[in-house]
Amino acid sequence: MRKEIEIIQQKMADEELDALLIVTADYHNSEYVNPHFALRAWATGFTGSAGSAVITRDSAALWVDGRYYLQGEKQLAGSGIEMIRSSEPGALTIEDHLKKVLPEGGRLGADTRTIGFGYGMKLARAILAKGGSIVNCDIASELWKDRPALDPKPVFVLEEKYSGESTASKLSRIREEMQKAGAELFVLPSLSEIAWTLNLRGGDVDYCPVFYSYLTVDEKRAILYAFEKAIPEDVQGYLAAAGVTLRPYESFFDMLPQQAAGLGVLADPKQISYAVGETIKAADKARLILRDAPTTLMTATKNETETGNLRQANLADGAAMVRTLYWIKKQAGKLAEFAAASHESDPTTGSDPAEAFTELSVSDYVLARRKDAGALDASFETIAGYGAHGAIVHYEPTAESDVPIEPRGFLLLDSGGHYLTGTTDITRTIAVGPLTDEEKEHFTLVLRGTIDLAMAVFPEGTSGANLDVYARMPLWQRGLDFRHGTGHGIGYLLNVHEGPQNIRKNGTAPFVPGMVTSDEPGYYEAGSHGIRIENDILCVPAFESDYGKFYKFETLTLCPIEREAIIPGMLTADELAWLNDYHSMVCEKLSPLVEPEVAAWLREVTKPL
């Protein structure tokens, strides 16, 4: 058994715990977390962005979804930890597992600040069936000896020319929604929605410009619980002028019972932790009103200033991507020439060109081009997977896994940037050499899904579950599919994954104009290749008829799609027209922004099919 698991099991015995649940979360139910909260990765060795572990006195199991099956198998090999594929039909749930492994009256340990309220209630019901209990504990604070410190980074104000709305206006809209819900207090733990509400950004989570905090809003005041050293003097003045009081982050749980006493407290069960929910319920005469946070839809619905800025962000990002694709093609060409000549070294550099052309070098190059274009940072860890690595859905190259790129097959590049004008997320699958007929067929099927979703026209009230079919149908018709969502909401200089909308088989949130979502079907052949083609799309009004309002998508992403991999005869006439129109737009808008030699290449790769 893995050493860290054995250490935890010994501590469990000392604390008389029968099981311990470790989730991938901080105190705010964030998708990505500060390294300080990476207990699950420390304990299990699995580094994926999602996954939950259950440890008993003599066993350990880790639940991972379809994105991480290959990565999980590799990282858990020899650890003694069982991997459970949670996306499979009929997969064992954590609750059912606990019912099996917990003895009567058993004690489940968990840091309830990291457990979502809704999930905590479900766990409590499952454990109650065994006469057991949940014990609030933070094992990591005692056992993880080299645990990274939580070192808050400075917060800055996002000017209104970027946000499009003042904090005072946003707080007023929140109070209107509170009144409709019959609430006198709103508790907001979501880091991205706090940042949006206050027009502030930070740097406490890699690739997510947020800062650790809680926000409470009542009928007259708002209180921000944050690390005071992270709030510079000018930001403190800005908050005071906006009617926001600043208090220490650590005081939140002490102050919450006093604030909640006697009030109707609005809180989103998908956002608050089990600890926050139980604290409110225990407050004197408090009423917990569980509803969607009003800030979720507000944050997701971009205003005209934000959508205008996002078009500019995608221009800059598109230029950075075109420069990157041009460089990749040049490197691949050099490799092909080198291989054809059978030279032992590159005559221009005196070394094998493959030494400088690897997955990591591609990751470094695209980030550098984005920063040249004005990006503050990447919007997530770049995914650059060559060949079989492309079939690992969320593969991120490391010094240990990095491989040279050879002049054949596919390179999958999924990357994005944070700009003051917005956040981008794009995937291109690039031919770095000759392709097989099967690779081209798979690519064209994925491309058809990307295009079909982009062309969708749909009535008001349509959700992601309805739209998901557009992207999957070409693959389904061949008996193929992919094990991840088709699209996720994208924040504005915030989390690259944002709700409430998504495009997947169980997506329930209706789309409304102003929502920005990814369009990213894929196909993955284990051990061979991976394909994903992703654009960011903006929901906009289409028209009105006797049947009501209809919406459509505007494609924001500007970047050529790999023509060498397309089998034109597989595209419908409408799909081919969309692709040619898209490439014409890409060429027209990006050519003036890049160097002459890059523009010449761009004109070639965007010619009509």
Average pLDDT, the chain: 95
Q: Given this chain, do its domains 3-143 and 304-570 carry the same CATH topology?
A: no
**202 touches 210 (CB < 8 A):** yes
| Candidate CATH numbers 3.10.270.10, 3.40.50.300, 3.10.110.10, 3.90.230.10; the one for domain 304-570 | 3.90.230.10
In the chain, what are the domain boundaries?
Answer: 3-143, 156-295, 304-570
Indicate the pLDDT class of residue 349, thresholds 50, 70 and 90: very low
**Residue 347 scores a pLDDT above 60:** no
Provide the pLDDT for residue 353. Answer: 55
Rounded to whole angstroms, how far apart are CA atoms 93 and 96? 5
d(CA 605, CA 602): 5
> Global pTM?
0.92
Rounded-to-integer distance, Cα 98 and Cα 57, Å: 13
CATH topology of domain 156-295: Creatine Amidinohydrolase; Chain A, domain 1 (3.40.350)
Q: What is the structure's pLDDT at 66?
A: 84
Q: If you count DSSP H runs as helices and E runs as strands, how many of each does the chain have, helices first?
A: 19, 28
* Residue 568 DSSP one-character state: G
Which pLDDT does position 342 carry in this prediction? 63
Q: How confident is the model at residue 46 (pLDDT cuts 50, 70, 90)?
A: very high
pLDDT tops 70 at residue 418: yes
> Is CATH 3.90.550.10 what the domain over 3-143 is classified as, yes or no?
no
How many percent of the chain have pLDDT more than 70? 98
Residue ranges in 221-358 assigned as alpha helix (H): 233-241, 252-260, 274-282, 294-300, 304-341
Could you read off the pLDDT of 121-153 as tens digits, one per residue? 999 999 998 899 999 999 888 899 999 999 999
Q: In the prediction, which pLDDT does 343 show?
A: 53
pLDDT per residue as tens digits for the range 281-340: 999 999 999 999 999 999 999 999 999 999 999 999 999 999 999 999 999 999 888 878
- 454, 357 contact by CB (below 8 A): no
pLDDT of residue 488: 98
pLDDT digits (tens, 9 = 90+) for 189-221: 999 999 999 999 999 999 999 999 999 999 999
What's the rounded Cα separation, in Å, for the pair 188 and 198?
Answer: 12
Question: What is the model's pLDDT at position 403?
Answer: 95
User: How far is it, in rounded angstroms, from Cα 472 to Cα 486?
Assistant: 8
CA 255, 257, 262, 266 torsion-angle sign: positive
Residue 91 DSSP class: P
Angle, helix 464-476 to helix 437-454, in steps of 10 degrees: 150
Indicate the pLDDT class of residue 348, thresholds 50, 70 and 90.
Answer: very low
In the block, tokens 């199991």 appear at: 61
User: How far apart, in Å, are the Cα atoms of 461 and each of 15, 43, 523?
Assistant: 51, 43, 29
Residue 514 · residue 301 · CB < 8 Å: yes
Which tens digit of pLDDT belongs to each residue from 443-452?
A: 999 999 999 9
